[in-house]
Structure 1
Amino acid sequence: MIPFHDLPFFMLAALILAISPGPNMIYLISKSITQGKKSGFISLTGIICGFMFHIIMVSFGLTAVLLAVPFAYTILKTLGTVYLLYLAYQAIKPKSKNIFEVDHTSAHDSPKKLFTVGFLTNVLNPKVAVFYLSFFPQFIKPGYGSIFTQSLELGVVQVLLSFSVNFIIVLTAAKVAVFFSNNPVWIRVQKWFMASVLTYLAVKMAFSKAK
């Protein structure tokens, strides 16, 4: 098991992943506003199952890679650093999409389709897999026991944080969309704040040492 004092940095990174604009957030906001909260929760269930799929696959992969490839940590750390900087740029790049602009013309979907699309939206989102592959090794230590078990532990923490954030998004999607539409300055503040935190995490990761 990973000691709790080793988790705050990971939790911060996981929180940033959850609140950063992406396919999951856009999908949840859209369905919650156009089809109601029930549809949003069904979509969220699919997204969470998608997270679990990634976690299981990555846990098996990290167990094999970290035990077989001596330089895997350095490779994954570099990958994570570059990706975080990419996310920071995406947050503030000119003419970036306003995620609170919702398409109200989309047709209503069945519960099965809501779940399936939510699941596939997450499973096919490379941001999730890259996050797991680049961040998990930073917190896994052989001395803490099974790499697979530690990966699952980190995954559960990430899923709980993501579920909490997305649950709130579903409950407040309409109000949040209206607020940001009426106060565009807050969108810019949110983007620059997010970019700053992502850059900090990237720098911290770049200078971190192997456990």
Structure 2
Amino acid sequence: MDYAQALWLFLLLIFGIIIVPGMDMIFVLASSLAGGRKAGLTATAGMMTGGAVHTLYGTLGTGILVAYAPRLFLPLVVAGALYMMWIGLSLAKSAITIGTVDGTGRSTLAATFRRAMTTCLLNPKAYLFVIAVYPQFLKPTYGPILAQGLVLGLMTMAVQGLVYGAVALAGDRARHALAGQPAMTIWIGRAAGALLIVAAAFTLAHGLMSDRQVSGDISG
């Protein structure tokens, strides 16, 4: 497989990972429904920034950090799941309506960006992806590892921008349709919070099971 073929394969893999609904996508959608297009696109930018950090981790991990990944995985899963449960609980308890968020300010957008980036950074699915996949595509035969990592990072951010950006715009359209129905908007926000809690709980349970399996293989 030459370098061009490897890049196409990576593009298919990263698209398949990002397009599957998960914590990141739900957060972008909830941000767009609550704060409109600016909030949704700000959340998308936060996710893209987190994706860039994941790329750096994956690139360095190919040579250094992969050996320590089994020890780091469980704490990352627990931290990410608890953080997402906290955000989900905040949404589930909220009573946000369209009228109260029309004037989204810089401070609110900055908070949305920070939350989105943290959500992406604490998403264990992303760490699993870079640990499992990046070593298959970062090879000395393709040239400098750092340059290859930069290419993969740009591809990841581009796919995140397209997918999550589309979700943000769709959420903004739905938001305008719900402008005259505050009660429904409140329940949609609470439902999004509940989905985040369920997704986080599922991720936590899956991570604990995987950790036990790995521990069993090592002890066996």
Band the TM-score falls in, shorter-chain normalisation: 0.5 to 0.7
- Identify the residue that residue 105 of structure 1 maps to in structure 2: 95
**Cα distance change, pair 36–176 in 1 and its aligned pair in 2 (3 A):** closer
- Identify the residue that residue 210 of structure 2 maps to in structure 1: none
**Which amino acid letter does the alignment assign opposite residue 140 of structure 2?**
P
**Higher helix residue share:** 2
8 Å CA contact 2:43–2:116 kept in 1: the answer is yes
Measure, in 1, the Cα distance between the counterparts of 2:113 and 2:42. Answer: 6
> In the alignment, does 2:35 pair up with 1:35?
yes
1:22-101 alignment, distance < 5 Å = 22-64=22-64
Aligned residue among 160, 166, 169 for 1:168? 166
- Identify the residue that residue 213 of structure 2 maps to in structure 1: none
- Identify the residue that residue 185 of structure 2 maps to in structure 1: none
Measure, in 2, the Cα distance between the counterparts of 1:6 and 1:17. Answer: 17
* Structure 1 gaps, min length 5: 77-101, 182-211
8 Å CA contact 2:6–2:137 kept in 1: the answer is yes
- C-alpha deviation, 1:158, in angstroms: 1.5
* Structure 2 gaps, min length 5: 71-90, 178-187, 189-220
**Which amino acid letter does the alignment assign opposite residue 135 of structure 1?**
V
**Which amino acid letter does the alignment assign opposite residue 157 of structure 2?**
V
- C-alpha deviation, 1:36, in angstroms: 0.6
- Superimposed CA distance per residue, residues 55-90 of structure 1 (whole angstroms, 9 cap, x where no aligned partner): 112212213368xx7xx9xx99xxxxxxxxxxxxxx
Measure, in 2, the Cα distance between the counterparts of 1:26 and 1:65. Answer: 29
1:110-121 alignment, distance < 5 Å = 110-121=108-119
1:188-199 alignment, distance < 5 Å = none
1:151-190 alignment, distance < 5 Å = 151-173=149-171
Q: SS of the counterpart of 2:21? A: coil
Q: CA RMSD in A?
A: 3.2
8 Å CA contact 2:44–2:164 kept in 1: the answer is yes
8 Å CA contact 2:53–2:121 kept in 1: the answer is yes
> In the alignment, does 2:120 pair up with 1:122?
yes
**Which amino acid letter does the alignment assign opposite residue 155 of structure 1?**
G
Q: SS of the counterpart of 2:64? A: helix
Which stretches of structure 1, 4 residues or more, deviate above 4 A after TM superposition? 106-109, 174-178
8 Å CA contact 1:63–1:148 kept in 2: the answer is no
TM superposition score normalised by structure 1: 0.60
